[in-house]
């Protein structure tokens, strides 16, 4: 039995090095970590860490906050990280993203967010990679775009750091999307998220920390890191009224298959 943190920004940790985070996480039963890029430099670091640590894998992308700076040049840089040197495909890049919409902060114009999102989707399809989707206060816009690709084009995607309710979860499942939960489900005010956990079947679910953000309730005030993903699994086990071991086994098997680990 082991755990997989499907979304952790090792390059953003301030109180421990990536090496320390990987080592400490392994001690907590975390075998694999997916490190998504949220900028060009962050994507480069994600690929660097994936090359350095056997249990770390990279995803490359630019966060919607910076979508207004994403053009052909930036997308080519991301593609080069996937293609690898001399055209030798980098097998440790296992996804594209995170990309999507963030209407909570609206740091980039929404038209630019959509353009960048579509560019990430096209890159994922070109290399037959899954997509890690950022969605905050943009549920319907996210579904509208994804619905154009998940059917005829066969896009595989996960809504990371799920922040919707059970109704939105059902819409995501209808499109064939996966859903990933964070330590948010351990918060006292996590009502809608808890209802979503109840409705999402285990075979369509991942767990993540979104480190260094969103430390679970038992560790609030501390910097989050992949080792804390166990608290997410424990909460899901409580909600689903099943064993922690089953949550670890099922979510890990899902991630291995989805990301081709």
**8 DSSP 8-state letter:** B
Q: What is the pLDDT of residue 87?
A: 74
Rounded Cα distance between 63 and 40, Å, is 10
Rounded Cα distance between 157 and 179, Å, is 9
Average the pLDDT over 181-191 and give the result. 95
On the question of pLDDT at 245 being above 80, the answer is: yes
DSSP string, 210-255: -BTS---GGGTTSPP-GGGHHHHHHHHHHHHTS-HHHHHHHHHHHH
Q: What average pLDDT is seen over the chain?
A: 96
Question: pLDDT tens digits for 40-58?
Answer: 999 999 999 999 999 999 9
Q: What is the pLDDT of residue 157?
A: 98
Q: What is the pLDDT of residue 192?
A: 92
Q: What is the pLDDT of residue 88?
A: 82
- Asked whether 211 and 21 are in contact (CB, 8 A), the reply is yes
Residues forming a β-bridge with 180 = 206
What are the residue boundaries of the structural domains of the chain, listed by start? 3-258
- Asked whether 13 and 211 are in contact (CB, 8 A), the reply is yes
Radius of gyration in angstroms for the set of CA atoms belonging to the chain, rounded to a whole number: 17
Q: What is the pLDDT of residue 3?
A: 98
Question: pLDDT tens digits for 70-96?
Answer: 999 999 999 999 998 777 899 999 999
Q: Which residues contact 80 (CB under 8 A, 6 or more apart)?
A: none
On the question of pLDDT at 152 being above 80, the answer is: no
Three-class SS of residue 16?
A: coil
- Closest to 45 in 3D by CA, of 18, 64, 73, 23: 18
Average the pLDDT over 25-48 and give the result. 98
Lowest mean pLDDT among 2-11, 34-43, 146-155, 201-210: 146-155
Decide yes or no: CATH 2.40.30.60 for domain 3-258. Answer: no
Backbone angles phi, psi at 181, to 5 degrees: -105, 150
pLDDT band at 179 (very low <50, low <70, confident <90, very high): very high
């Amino acid at each position: 039995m082991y755990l997989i943190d499907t979304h952790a920004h090792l390059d953003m940790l301030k109180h421990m090095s990536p090496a320390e985070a990987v080592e400490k996480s392994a001690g907590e039963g975390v075998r694999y970590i997916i490190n998504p890029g949220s900028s060009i430099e962050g994507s480069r670091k994600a690929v660097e860490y994936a090359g350095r640590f056997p249990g770390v894998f990279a995803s490359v992308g630019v966060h919607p906050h910076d979508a207004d700076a994403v053009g052909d040049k930036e997308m080519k840089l991301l593609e080069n990280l996937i293609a690898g040197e001399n055209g030798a495909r980098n097998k440790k890049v296992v996804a594209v993203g995170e990309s999507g919409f963030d209407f909570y902060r609206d740091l980039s114009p929404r038209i630019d967010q959509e353009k960048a999102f579509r560019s990430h989707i096209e890159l994922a399809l070109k290399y037959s990679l899954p997509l890690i989707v950022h969605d905050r206060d943009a549920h319907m816009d996210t579904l509208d775009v994804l619905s154009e690709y998940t059917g005829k084009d066969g896009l595989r995607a996960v809504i990371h750091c799920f922040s919707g309710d059970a109704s939105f979860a059902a819409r995501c499942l209808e499109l064939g999307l996966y859903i990933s939960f964070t330590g948010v489900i351990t918060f006292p005010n996590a009502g809608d998220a808890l209802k979503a956990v109840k409705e999402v079947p285990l075979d369509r679910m991942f767990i993540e920390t979104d480190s260094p953000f969103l430390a679970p309730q038992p560790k609030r005030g501390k910097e989050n890191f992949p080792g804390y993903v166990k608290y997410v699994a424990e909460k899901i086990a409580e909600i689903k009224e099943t064993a922690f071991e089953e949550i670890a086994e099922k979510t890990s098997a899902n991630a291995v298959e989805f990301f081709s680990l």
